[in-house]
Amino acid sequence: MESPNGQPSPMPRKKMTKQLTGKKDDTQLHSAARAGNLVAVMEILTEYGYVNVVREMIKYYDLADAGIKARNGFDAFHVAAKQGDMEILRVLMEAHPELSMTVDLSNTTALHTAATKGHIEIVNFLLDAGSSLATIAKSNGKTALHSAARNGHVEVVRALLTMEPGMATRTDKKGQTAFHMAAKGQNIEMVEELIVAQPSSINMVDTKGNTALHIAARKGRIQIVRLILGHCGTDLKGC
């Protein structure tokens, strides 16, 4: 599928589902435009991949306007990161580089959003724009590395650790590392990647005294349990 400027879209463009508003068959875009809500118009156009329109509109937005958040706490930059739309992200960054540092209501950066979705191209782009983004945690203490590990995005985890190796032992408010997150999932490669990155994380405990082994066993992740048990650095005294 192609974007409106004739270039291949990174993701299939969504269909504009019609919503009835009064006697008119309005889409969200119609309603936002009729109400004069330019922020909502920008976010909708970003979500649907209308690059050329966004490129023109952003010329008339200062940083404050471009960073205004919707009800879900996302500004247009976060929407583009979530959708995996590199082209629109570049347009927004060229106009206002500071948008890469904006956060939603739970202190989530666009990098965190892209990492959670596994959009490696966007993750690399944002890391190049500012490596410190990888160290910013959500209000619950989880970083982009935590979320990428939990969702099994190995390439993203590698990119984050290459930029910030020390993040491997960073804990959230529950005292859990990215390795704890990986143990909750089912991606063996992810678990192996994190062991290589920081072997000591195998024996790190959270606020309740749980290691990644405890968590994997509780969730019935047999392969992960076997992998951790087979590692020479695993401390079985607390099990």
Pairing of strands 19-21, 24-26: antiparallel
Average pLDDT score, the chain: 81
User: Inter-axis angle of helices 120-129 and 154-163, to 10 degrees?
Assistant: 10
User: Are 137 and 237 part of one and the same domain?
Assistant: yes
Is residue 122 one of the residues assigned to a domain? no
Q: How many CA atoms lie within 13 A of 220 on its CB side?
A: 0
User: Are 146 and 216 part of one and the same domain?
Assistant: yes
Question: Which pLDDT does position 44 carry in this prediction?
Answer: 61
User: Are 82 and 164 part of one and the same domain?
Assistant: no
Which neighbouring-strand residues pair with 8?
A: 2
Of the three residues 102, 121, 149, the one that is the final residue of a domain is: 102
Beta strands in the chain (DSSP E): 19-21, 24-26
Tens of pLDDT, residue by residue over 143-188, are: 999 999 999 999 999 999 999 999 999 999 999 999 999 999 999 9
Cα radius of gyration rounded to whole Å, the chain = 21
Sequence-separated (6 or more) residues with CB below 8 Å from residue 202: 179, 195, 211, 212, 213, 228, 231, 233, 234, 235
User: Are 154 and 190 part of one and the same domain?
Assistant: yes
Tens of pLDDT, residue by residue over 45-73, are: 676 566 666 666 666 566 566 566 767 77
Question: Which pLDDT does position 127 carry in this prediction?
Answer: 95
User: Are 191 and 231 part of one and the same domain?
Assistant: yes
Residue reference for tokens 């060229």? 94
Residue 7: which CATH number?
Answer: 1.25.40
Segment 23-39 shows an average pLDDT of 47
Is residue 219 one of the residues assigned to a domain? yes
Which neighbouring-strand residues pair with 19?
A: 26
Q: Global pTM? A: 0.75
Q: Structure tokens of 10?
A: 């990174």
User: Are 211 and 137 part of one and the same domain?
Assistant: yes
Beta strands in 96-239 (DSSP E): none
Range of the domain at 63: 1-102
Q: Do 209 and 176 form a contact (C-beta atoms < 8 A)?
A: no
Q: How many CA atoms lie within 13 A of 92 on its CB side?
A: 35
Is residue 98 one of the residues assigned to a domain? yes
Report the alpha-carbon distance of residue 100 to residue 55 in Å, rounded: 17
Cα-based torsion angle of the residue sequence 134, 136, 142, 144 in order, rounded to the nearest 10 degrees: -30
Q: What is the DSSP letter of 14?
A: P
Q: Is 143 left (phi over 0), alpha (psi -120 to 50) or beta?
A: beta
Chain-centroid distance, C-alpha 48: 19
- Give the number of domains in the chain: 2
Q: Buried (b) or exposed (e) across 101-127, using 16+ Cβ within 10 A?
A: bbbbeeebbbbbbbbbbbbbebbbbbb
Q: Picking from 89-98, 158-167, 204-213, which range would have the lowest pLDDT averaged per residue?
A: 89-98
pLDDT of 16 above 50: no
Q: Which residue has the higher pLDDT, 219 or 78?
A: 219
User: Are 169 and 210 part of one and the same domain?
Assistant: yes
